Chain A
Amino acid sequence: MSIAIEFVDLHFRYPGGVEAVRGVSLTVSAGERVAIVGENGAGKTTLVRHLNGILRPTSGTVLVGGASTRDRSIAQLAAQVGYIFQNPDEQLFASTIGADVEFGPRNLGCTPSEAAARAASALATVQLQDQAGLHPHHLSPSERKRVALAGVLAMQTPVVVLDEPTTGQDARGVEIVAGVVDSIAAQGRTVVAITHDMDFCAEHFDRVVVMADGLVQADGDTRAVFDQVGTLERAAVEPPQLLRLAAHLGWHARPLTPAEFVDASTREPRDLGTRVD
């Protein structure tokens, strides 16, 4: 199952008066994987919190699966949009990890045995299958983030929103999260992620949206967006390591992964590779 999402001239003002989103129009097609990047305070989290109805537009419209979120409750939207918060402690509450992960599918009407099966499979995906009987607070914060990820996987929602999924993860944790993103996308589900990790973004997302000051500053194919050096600089976003290096070496190629980089290194004209002091 796959559905699109759309923001139409979205504005959002917090009760304190800060207008965090100041007119965003953005369409994400069904099955796309989009990364939203930009510095703290750019409006990224405020934007995506409209997708599960936690925030409601001050003006403008948010469409999930073609229908406005305005008339739907958070519970109704939860069947369509799985949301992993930046701080996992905002969403874990059950007394065991297994029960926490089963809660979502149970709420969506799964039978106990089906919920248990989904939870077991989701916990295996994030490599926490042996911890199912523990209390969430026996885990480290980075493991708790993976529990939250499993909880959303088990709901099998057509849209998955990830707020800073790699924060605090060690090398293996980042690989697990990356594997989850790839597999969700391979199932044709729509993925929207907020991230400060540009290397992760380059390796796992097809499209990048750059935000600053509550507005979209750039939007498009990952390679093309990361080539807009001036826009990125104004938004305080640094391009991924290997893209920066390729540009510095004077290469034509804009490699997104180590494999692409090494491949490009064999093809680039050597006389251009001399801008090194």
Chain B
Amino acid sequence: MIQLADVSYAYPDSGRFVLEHVDLRIEPGTITGVVGASGAGKTTLAKILSGFIPHVDGGQLSGSVVIGGRDLSGLPLAACVSQVGLVIQNPFNQISGARYTVRGELAFGMENLGTPRDEMASRVAEVAGLLRITDLLDRSPYELSGGQQQLVAIASMLVLRTPVLVMDEPTSQLDPVGTRMVFGVLSRLRGAGTTIVVFEHKPELLHAHADRLHVLAGRRIAASGSPGEILSDPRTDQWGVSATRYTRAARLAREQGLVPAEAPLPVSFEQAAAFFGWSARTRPPSPEDAR
């Protein structure tokens, strides 16, 4: 389990708190989404969850960050890294530059953690297969497209088999096919017990894959709930969170008095099909349609 209690943070020499009094509890073996506007502190929270704050970035961190029963601030960075894998927002910066091939890049983290050599090879092969980058293994990480680099960055964390994965916009460079594949892999890892925290803007994906969403706004957790609850909340605009087109169309239909005001708003395709198909049937949508 991950537990943040009363966490506040200011970057070095800024004196301005980016996060204030954040309380957050994340259950093991779940996919948790964190949403919020740009500048709400998502990247900062990702770094706190992985120990990069305060170990690398410094700054003024208060409160406690407990992962697997241990407070990260009391652990050396090397111990944090073996607990939590962080996939950073810009894949161009995740590549270490220490190795000449994708294969070497993927093994780099394991070399630092002392993984036996033959196990390294089998983990690289397994993860490359999962993310469909086997054909890139002998190429230079620098001659790849943005989407391919992003898959390599994700793979470089998956090979470490950390119990927790923190991913800051892991699909920003990917097309819809690649995006779905990555979330499919994350769902499999969750099934195997990995705890995944993903910072992501795409509402359809979050609804399909996340167990729970937390909204970062006003330097704190402004709301928490199921993806259906959060993404259909009337405050999404105010939070800077994207609603699906299904939700937007349903809101508009409700504003125009075309559907009962109490009808729960759809988030997914299936819910929208029920919502907009309702008048052809005999009853208005019930809460079960949208939850």
Contact = CB atoms under 8 A, between A and B. Distances in A.
B63 interface: no
A262 B258 contact: yes
Given A170-B201, A241-B244, A262-B252, A89 B89 contact: no
B281 interface: yes
A261 B280 contact: no
Contacts of A259: 252
Interface string A208-245: 00000000000000000000000000001110111011
A117 B208 CA distance: 46
Contact of A143 (B38, B148, B177, B236): B38
Contacts of A238: 176
A70 interface: no
A236 B246 contact: no
A25 interface: no
Q: Categorize the interface residue count of chain B.
A: 35 or more
Contact of A241 (B36, B245, B279): B245
Contact of B269 (A237, A245, A266): A245
Looking at B43, B245, B256, B274, the one whose CB has the most chain A CB atoms below 10 A away is B245
A241 B258 contact: no
B172 A262 contact: no
Contacts of A167: 172-173
Contact of A86 (B38, B146, B177, B236): B146
Interface string B233-244: 000110011111
A113 interface: no
Contacts of A245: 246, 269, 272-273, 276
B175 A262 contact: no
B245 A273 contact: no
Contacts of B174: 40, 196
A252 interface: no
Nearest to B176: A238
B249 A40 contact: no
Nearest to A173: B38
Contacts of A142: 38
B256 to A, nearest CB: 6
B148 to A, nearest CB: 8
B225 interface: no
A258 B248 contact: yes
Contacts of B82: none
Contacts of B281: 274, 276
**4 A-B pairs closest in CB distance:** A273-B280, A276-B277, A258-B249, A241-B245
25 contacts: A39-B177, A39-B178, A40-B148, A41-B147, A86-B146, A140-B39, A168-B89, A168-B169, A170-B241, A171-B201, A199-B245, A238-B176, A241-B246, A242-B246, A245-B269, A248-B269, A249-B273, A258-B248, A258-B249, A258-B252, A261-B249, A262-B253, A265-B253, A270-B279, A275-B277
Interface of B: 36-39, 43, 89-90, 92, 143, 145-148, 169, 172-178, 201, 204, 236-237, 240-246, 248-249, 251-253, 256, 258, 269, 272-274, 276-277, 279-281
